[in-house]
Chain A
Amino acid sequence: MSPASTDPSALSWYEASARQRVAALADPGSFREFLPPTARRTSPHLPLFDLPRAFDDGIVVGRATLDGKPVLVAAQEGRFMGGAFGEVHGAKLIGLLRAARDLKPAAVLILFDTGGVRLQEANAGETAIAEAMRAIAELRAAGVPVIGLIGGRAGAYGGGGLIAGTCSRLAVSEGGRISVSGPEVIETNKGAEEFDSRDRALVWRTMGGKHRRLIGGADAFADDTVAAFRAAALDLIARAPAFDLATLEAEQARLEARIARFGDCRDATEIWARLGVNDPEAVPAMTTAAFDETVARVEEAHHDAR
């Protein structure tokens, strides 16, 4: 293991802020932010709850180039209100997606880091999620790839998980999680026997990046560095599936087959075993290289059905 590095592309994705991720992901110096912090478009609602606001409402949106090609980028800040969708936060993403419809960039990148809907602005957040999904479907139909990158501490939960499921392609790191209901929510509603949220190994086995990659819920597995996510994004842009009946029919078949094949599994390790992974118990501790080799042999992990 090498001593600390200050190379921005070696920056840990999990540790970096939204702003650091965007700056290091894009071609150096190419990022231009829309409605930057100096515009002070803060939440009109949080003060009612005696909660502090953020100048960017927890999302950074703008344009940049990636390998010289123009892209639009949105990055959620998972540490502000859990990266949750509030009114302004959601509207900034919607504005970006709508602009993409006219501008036809090489791709739209969404750097998810969200617990879902911001409770204090729940109706606005929920509606924004629906708007985002509609806008993404339109963009994809217009031929613009929408790529989701998931590796932040808040993961992609709630409506964030649904938006992620709408994207053309997803890259995820080991720390990244994708789900609808969070572990605590399931435990609160259904009890600790259903889901022990303190068993973090269980959480990651069920919702984490490696499981999602193995079952085809994500299309690329990235090391926890900005450089790895950049490489994954470039790769995924080049192989974004169309948004048409054939793709969705294929996805229907893919998901139905998944339930038929694994519907009786209680734990992810059982699924991995049926996928042909030799030593399922070893998966969580696998290095990226070993995991990549494992994934390469799993048929379900490779598809255009999204």
Chain B
Amino acid sequence: MTLAEILASLFPQGHRVRVADGLVGGHGPLDGVEATVIGIDGDTALGIEGALALSRAVLDAVRAGDRAPILVLVDSDSQRMSRRDELLGLNECLAHLAKALLLADQAGHPTIGLIYGHSAAGAFIATALATRVLAALPGANPSVMDLPSVARVTKLPLDKLQEMAKSTPVFAPGLDNMVATGAVHAVLDPARPLSEQVRALIADAPADDVRDRLGAERGGRPVARAVAEAVADEARLEARRG
């Protein structure tokens, strides 16, 4: 689906969402409140200016205090790779955007991510992965690194990696693997109105971070949940010992 189609399906009554320089921003009516929409379109890399433009929109929504949903629509490249971005503190800007979304969440705004194209690395972490519920549309292609690049870095032949990718979702790019990891909660049905599907996601939003539980259930992260629990258990036990 294109961004225009997605917006039309999300907001059948119309919306005020604009795209400029690959950055998405605006509002649209959802369940009687004005949802805030931010995002990245057109496989655009996220740099310092983009991150701060998006975080500004999120903080504006938090300041409004209406607890309206915040939708994060993502079809991005990775973080913008440049000397200037790093010089000026890209890590702070991306972390700031993620923190804005996490603060909004704490302040009672449902934060819903929707990945409909590509996304990778720092851009993915700062946007879609910083929402409470991350959904995807079929055809979305989140990745950390493409397989040819993985082949180059790991010095393993590409065909071997492709074979491994079939049985080991933990390293391979693609939506199915991100779903299996638990990072993507649900894949939406493009044939049905997105508005009602998003409404359902908001209604069913988990109270806690359940991504490692999903990863264990779906087999994409076989041990993370057990390891995290074991650490937490030991910590509590040690604390009781004093």
Mark A residues whose CB is within 8 Å of B.
32, 34-35, 39, 41, 44-45, 48-49, 61-63, 70, 72, 87-88, 90-92, 94-96, 98-100, 102-103, 117, 119-131, 133-135, 137-138, 141, 156, 158-159, 161-166, 178-181, 185-186, 189-190, 194-195, 206-207, 211-212, 215, 217, 243-245, 248-249, 251-252, 255-256, 258-259, 262-263, 265-268, 271
Instruction: Given A87-B224, A133-B102, A259-B49, check contact A158 B235 (CB 8 Å).
Output: no
B200 interface residue (CB < 8 Å to A):
no
Q: From A99, which residue of chain B is reached at the shortest CB distance?
A: B235
Instruction: Given A99-B231, A130-B130, check contact A123 B144 (CB 8 Å).
Output: yes
Apart from A128-B224, A162-B98, A245-B103, what 11 extra A-B contacts exist at CB < 8 Å?
A45-B170, A95-B228, A98-B232, A117-B144, A123-B180, A133-B130, A135-B209, A180-B90, A245-B59, A245-B107, A255-B52
B100 interface residue (CB < 8 Å to A):
yes
Instruction: Given A35-B227, A95-B230, check contact A217 B183 (CB 8 Å).
Output: no
Nearest-CB distance from B145 to chain A (Å)? 6
B238 interface residue (CB < 8 Å to A):
yes
4 residue pairs, one from A and one from B, having the closest CB atoms: A165-B95, A95-B231, A99-B235, A161-B91
Instruction: Given A34-B235, A63-B238, A159-B122, check contact A166 B99 (CB 8 Å).
Output: yes
Contact partner, B88, options A158, A243, A263, Cβ 8 Å: A263
Contact partner, A244, options B103, B125, B211, B224, Cβ 8 Å: B103
B117 interface residue (CB < 8 Å to A):
no
* Inter-chain contact A249/B59, CB cutoff 8 Å: yes
* Inter-chain contact A243/B55, CB cutoff 8 Å: no
Nearest-CB distance from B183 to chain A (Å)? 4
Chain B residues contacting A245 (CB-CB under 8 Å) are: 59, 62-63, 103, 107
Instruction: Given A180-B91, A180-B122, A181-B86, check contact A123 B171 (CB 8 Å).
Output: yes
- CB<8 Å pairs between A and B, sample of 26: A70-B239, A87-B170, A87-B224, A88-B224, A91-B212, A91-B224, A91-B227, A121-B171, A124-B170, A124-B220, A127-B178, A131-B209, A131-B212, A135-B209, A137-B102, A161-B95, A161-B122, A180-B90, A180-B91, A180-B121, A207-B86, A244-B103, A248-B99, A252-B52, A259-B52, A265-B87
Contact partner, B95, options A61, A133, A262, Cβ 8 Å: A133
Contact partner, A72, options B90, B225, B229, B235, Cβ 8 Å: B235
* Inter-chain contact A123/B209, CB cutoff 8 Å: no
Q: State A179–B93 Cα separation when bound (angstroms).
A: 11
Among B52, B129, B234, chain A packs the most CB atoms within 10 A around the CB of B234
B215 interface residue (CB < 8 Å to A):
yes
* Inter-chain contact B171/A158, CB cutoff 8 Å: no
* Inter-chain contact A189/B81, CB cutoff 8 Å: yes
Chain A residues contacting B56 (CB-CB under 8 Å) are: 252, 256
Q: State A141–B104 Cα separation when bound (angstroms).
A: 12
Nearest-CB distance from A96 to chain B (Å)? 6
B196 interface residue (CB < 8 Å to A):
no
Main secondary structure of the interface of B (DSSP, over half): helix
* Inter-chain contact B145/A124, CB cutoff 8 Å: no
* Inter-chain contact A95/B235, CB cutoff 8 Å: yes
Nearest-CB distance from A74 to chain B (Å)? 10
* Inter-chain contact A127/B182, CB cutoff 8 Å: yes
* Inter-chain contact B96/A63, CB cutoff 8 Å: no
Q: State A119–B122 Cα separation when bound (angstroms).
A: 14
B42 interface residue (CB < 8 Å to A):
no
Q: Digit string of B128-166 for contact with A (CB within 8 Å is 1, else 0)?
A: 011000000000000011000010011010000000100
* Inter-chain contact A45/B168, CB cutoff 8 Å: yes
* Inter-chain contact B177/A259, CB cutoff 8 Å: no
Nearest-CB distance from B223 to chain A (Å)? 6
* Inter-chain contact A91/B228, CB cutoff 8 Å: yes
Nearest-CB distance from A249 to chain B (Å)? 6
Instruction: Given A134-B209, A165-B91, check contact A87 B221 (CB 8 Å).
Output: yes
B94 interface residue (CB < 8 Å to A):
yes
Q: From B58, which residue of chain A is reached at the shortest CB distance?
A: A248
Q: State A245–B102 Cα separation when bound (angstroms).
A: 11
